Amino acid sequence: MPELPEVETIKRVIEPQIQGRSIENIFIRQPAVIAHPATEEFHSQLIGQIISRMERRGKFLVFLLDSGDRMILHLRMTGCLLLTSADLPEEPHTHLTFQLTGGRQLRYSDTRRFGRFWFLKKGETDTFSGIKKLGKEPFDPEFSSEYLMERLGKRKKSIKECLLEQKVIAGIGNIYSDEILFAARIHPARSASSLTLGEWQRLAAAIPERLSFFIAKNEISAEEYLSSKGKEYRNTPFLQVYGRKGSLCPICGECLQRMVIGGRSSVFCPCCQKL
């Protein structure tokens, strides 16, 4: 489910509710979601730790602990975090529950079970999660058209596939790559090396603009987030192309088309985004 705007939303909802709380216990129902270290150690190392804050990097969530240790989470396709009182019925596919002080529980559910947790000691080098391989954050002051041209200017493959490369830009997935390319009026199948200077500039502007737009549209209270089980994102009605094959382009009225690029479904306007 989650790309950068959703992961940011989850961070904003969850962080204020867990800050300063300590982990009293952890119930591990599905050890497969723990990537590192071994289940027993993951469990024993985290008990008693106090959560100081949360950070987002690309699509990763990082829980910073008072000790300097940290826990990293990637939600992949269907991972979901809920902060609840202990008496609420569990969601199906709840694999991990953190019992926190004050009778609160941080629950991790994940239908397809692709999501992963990592625990790292203070100062331990993160060779596990993949965070270190990420490219620039879209909101990094150094993120620019020059950066994109340098990293992608000679690439033969489609610009759509390039936008999905986490080692170049952190956080863009299949939904927002389509939204960004529509906003920048660039056909998703265009070879990256064929983009003009003006197109690189439009693209570099559209990336942070679209992502911050959708983060703003996602804004939700802790109560609403919980009652919707963390599953409803309010920005969906604002998507202009993703999932709208066959509807009319909001700009020119042309019929939106779908094609498969790099194995991923891609929707675009054949009139606004010329090949």
Q: Which residues within the stretch 36-75 sit at the binding site for DNA (CB under 7 A)?
A: 58-59, 74
Q: Is 8 left (phi over 0), alpha (psi -120 to 50) or beta?
A: alpha
Instruction: Verify binding: residue 89, DNA, rule CB under 7 A.
Output: no
- Catalytic, out of 104, 113, 151, 264: 264
Q: Which of 76, 217, 234, 244 binds DNA (CB under 7 A)?
A: 76
Q: Tell whether residue 155 is among the known ligand binding residues.
A: yes
Nearest 10 degrees: Cα torsion 245, 167, 139, 70: 120
3 is catalytic: yes
CB of 119 to DNA, least distance (A): 17
Q: What is the pattern of x (binds DNA, CB under 7 A) and - over residues 174-213? A: xx--------------------------------------
Instruction: Let me know how long the chain is.
Output: 275
Cis before 37? omega within 30: yes
Strands (E), 9-124: 23-28, 34-36, 51-57, 60-65, 70-74, 79-85, 94-100, 104-110, 116-120
Distance CA(168)–CA(187), nearest Å, equals 19
* 53 contacts 65 by C-beta, under 8 angstroms: no
- Catalytic, out of 59, 116, 190, 202: 59
Could you identify the residue written with the tokens 């939204």? 179
Instruction: Verify binding: residue 137, DNA, rule CB under 7 A.
Output: no
Instruction: Verify binding: residue 31, DNA, rule CB under 7 A.
Output: no
Q: Tell whether residue 112 is among the known ligand binding residues.
A: yes
Which residues contact DNA by CB under 7 A?
Answer: 1-3, 6, 32, 58-59, 74, 76-77, 92-93, 111-114, 130, 133, 155-157, 164, 166, 173-175, 260, 262-265
Catalytic residues: 2-3, 59, 264
